[in-house]
């Protein structure tokens, strides 16, 4: 298990997620932090990005003269297109998501349980606006579900919990959790800490109400 002296910022975390995506993968990036991952994918990875509003071959976020108001991702952020990009009907896009054709989806979350349950569409608060979008389709259709989120709330409560208290998006679907303080692998019935940032394994274990396991050397993925 490795560690760094500083917590990761959003862009550093996005770069880490991008580096972990296997070459040749078909990937969907959820709204919020996950959209940053597109900016850090390397051409030699040959990763094909899918966006649920109907596109394959999405490139990094568009800036300056690259911005085309008709070319956006599902979060309405202007994006670029890579050679060979294709566009299709919304129903076809969801067929890709539901049909098991995506290797990885990267989603944000309000909570993730130790068993891989995902809660990311509603906090249950009376004044909150539910926003499920295609998250349920992605959570059940992608072969691997990675979550990007801050590890603790503003009140210091862990978002990686024993059981989710918010309405679920998917059950047992999350395989990895990338946070500003650690990367967690959810496997073999446990929560394995792959690496930490600005904290130690012992400090994390003291602040979280779930058992943690040190990831074995040589088995970091």
Q: Kindly list the catalytic residues.
A: 52
SS3 210: coil
How far apart CA 193 and CA 205 sit, in angstroms, is 10
Which residues face 145 on adjacent strands?
Answer: 105, 174
16: its two tokens = 């880490």
Q: How far apart are CA 79 and CA 58, in angstroms?
A: 7
Asked if 196 and 182 count as a contact pair (C-beta separation under 8 A), the reply is yes
Q: Which two tokens stand for residue 74?
A: 């599902």
Angstrom distance (rounded) from CA 154 to CA 41: 30
């Amino acid at each position: 298990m490795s560690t760094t002296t500083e917590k990761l910022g959003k862009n550093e975390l996005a770069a880490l997620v991008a580096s972990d995506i296997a070459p040749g993968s078909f990937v969907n990036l959820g709204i919020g932090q996950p959209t940053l991952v597109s900016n850090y994918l390397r051409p030699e990875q040959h990763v094909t990005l899918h966006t649920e509003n109907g596109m394959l071959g999405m490139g990094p976020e568009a800036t300056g003269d690259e911005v085309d108001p008709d070319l956006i991702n599902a979060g309405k952020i202007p994006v670029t297109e890579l050679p060979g990009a294709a566009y299709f009907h919304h129903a076809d896009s969801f067929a890709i998501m539901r049909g098991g054709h995506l290797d990885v989806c990267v989603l944000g979350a309000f909570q993730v349980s130790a068993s891989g349950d995902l809660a990311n569409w509603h906090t249950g608060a009376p004044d909150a606006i539910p926003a499920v979008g295609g998250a349920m389709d992605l959570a059940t259709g992608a072969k691997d579900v990675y979550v990007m989120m801050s590890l603790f709330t503003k009140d210091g409560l862990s978002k990686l919990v024993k059981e989710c208290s918010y309405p679920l998006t998917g059950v047992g679907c999350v395989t990895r959790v990338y946070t500003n303080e650690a990367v967690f692998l959810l496997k073999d019935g446990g929560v394995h800490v792959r690496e930490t940032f600005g904290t130690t394994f012992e400090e994390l274990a003291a602040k979280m109400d779930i058992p943690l396991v040190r990831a074995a050397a040589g088995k970091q993925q």
